Structure 1
Amino acid sequence: MYSRHGKPTRLRLRAAQKQGKESGLRGERLDLESDTPSSPERLESLEDLENARKKGLFSKVNDRFQDALQSGRGGDRVRNAAVEAGPDPGVTADDLAIRRAKNVTAQRMIVPEGVIIEGSMTSGSETEISGKIDGDVSVEGRLLLGASALVTGNVRATFCKIEGLVDGKVECSQELELGKTGRLNGDVLSGKSFYMAGQVFGNVTTGGMLHIAESAKLQGDVRVRRLTIEEGGVFNGSCVMRMPSQRKEGEN
């Protein structure tokens, strides 16, 4: 029943209040729109949906984080042999190793003092030796033999500085320098020049200048284009001066 002004009557209001009290006693929530209480099953389903939504959000965030992490590492960190091999099934592991070796930048090789290598040694980069090599040494680059270095074999390099002992033949295609503590027991061949401040017991041949410092001692014959001997330097042997024409004939 409604009053004259369109408002619920007192009977309708009392019924609503009574229903609210009963719902409060039962611990239920009163739905003002439907006037029916919500069921616990509906609340649980809403919580499940909310949890599922949160899990889905965290999963997306984690996936994006993993993608960003992998892209930040770069593609060259972990190499895939199948990708490197390509479509050619005949590529072997040795071929892949050769490919990778060509892409590696040459670094400096160091043989520290106290290390003994039995056998010949070959290097394609700058090399520093302070230990003992029982064999030949071949370096495609600059070679430095420290004061504690001992080589019992032939030595070949592009540029060479020797401060240790070499018991064998020394060949240097460019410049050769022998320090005060250096000693060579064998013939010496230098392409451009040879500066010696140590001791040489063998014949010396160079296409350029031989410079004998005041602390140097040379026991052997020399074949050079120019010869310089400082006061105090010792040279025991014969000397043949090479002319430019003779140098060209010797090189050919």
Structure 2
Amino acid sequence: MKKKENADHISTLLGIGTTIEGSLAFKDTIRLDGAVNGKIFSEKGTLIIGERAVVEAQIRVGTAIVKGTVNGHIQASERIDVYPPAKITGDIQAPVISIETGVFFNGNCSMAKPEPLPVEKKTMETTREEKKSG
């Protein structure tokens, strides 16, 4: 059964021509159509990697929907769905994984739920929020 992303619920869009280097943290749903190099994190959010996106990052999210190019590891606490013309070079880990015919995947696949993040990461987000308000 093919699960499609719902564009009505995308809270952030990084379009074609956008390039980000560093760490990207988000809530809700984000769609990437540009280039990202670094780390992508969301405790429960959904990451949609569009067909023209090129991502070189360590990814840890709730749900990942991949249609573009990813070089790096993907960990999802809920699921990973991969659709053509996706190209993934790196390991993937999630309790539910769906890879459609026509996808290029070179890496290891583990269907175990990723370990919870250390408390240190949550503390960093709290500190960042305190800086904004103070």
> TM-score, normalization: structure 1?
0.40
CA distance in 2, matches of 1:250, 1:162: 25
1:110-132, Cα deviation, whole Å (9 max, x unpaired): xxxxxxxxxxxxxxxxxxxxxxx
**Structure 2: 5+ residue runs without aligned partners?**
1-9, 119-134
CA distance in 2, matches of 1:233, 1:204: 15
CA RMSD of aligned residues (A): 1.9
Superposed CA deviations along residues 88-118 of structure 1, whole A, max 9, x for unmatched, are xxxxxxxxxxxxxxxxxxxxxxxxxxxxxxx
Distance in 2, matches of 1:226 and 1:189, equals 14
- AA paired with 1:222? I
Q: Does 1:233 align with 2:99?
A: no
Q: Secondary structure at the match of 1:214?
A: coil
Aligned 1:187-198 pairs, distance under 5 A: 187-191=58-62, 193-198=63-68
What is the CA–CA distance in structure 2 between the aligned matches of 1:236 and 1:143, rounded to whole Å?
29
1:152 aligns with 2:21: yes
The SS at the match of 1:186 is strand
Residues 72-91 of structure 1: matches in 2 within 5 Å?
none
The structure whose residues are more often strand, as a share, is: 2
For residues 1-252 of structure 1, what are the structure 2 equivalents within 5 Å? 142-158=11-27, 159-173=29-43, 174-191=45-62, 193-242=63-112, 250=116
Report the residue type matching 2:25 in the other structure.
R
- The residue identity in structure 2 corresponding to 1:229 is I
Whichever residue aligns with residue 94 of structure 2, its letter is: V
Aligned-pair CA distance for 1:251: 5.6
> Is the helix fraction higher in 1 or 2?
1
SS of the residue 2:22 aligns to: coil
Deviations 1:210-229 (A, max 9, x none): 11101100000111111111
CA drift of 1:154 comes to: 1.5
Partner Cα separation in structure 2 for residue 152 and residue 239 of structure 1 = 26
Question: % of aligned pairs identical?
Answer: 25
Q: TM-score w.r.t. structure 2 length? A: 0.73
Deviation beyond 2 Å, 4+ runs, structure 1: 249-252
Matched-pair contact (CA < 8 Å) for 1:160–1:172: no
Look up the equivalent residue of 2:54 and give its one-letter code. R
Give ranges in structure 1 of 5+ residues lacking alignment.
1-140
Corresponding residue number in structure 2 for 1:133:
none
Note if contact 1:171-1:190 (Cα within 8 Å) is conserved in structure 2. yes
State the 1:143 CA deviation: 2.4
Q: Which has the higher contact order (CA 8 A, sep 6+)?
A: 2
Aligned length: 107
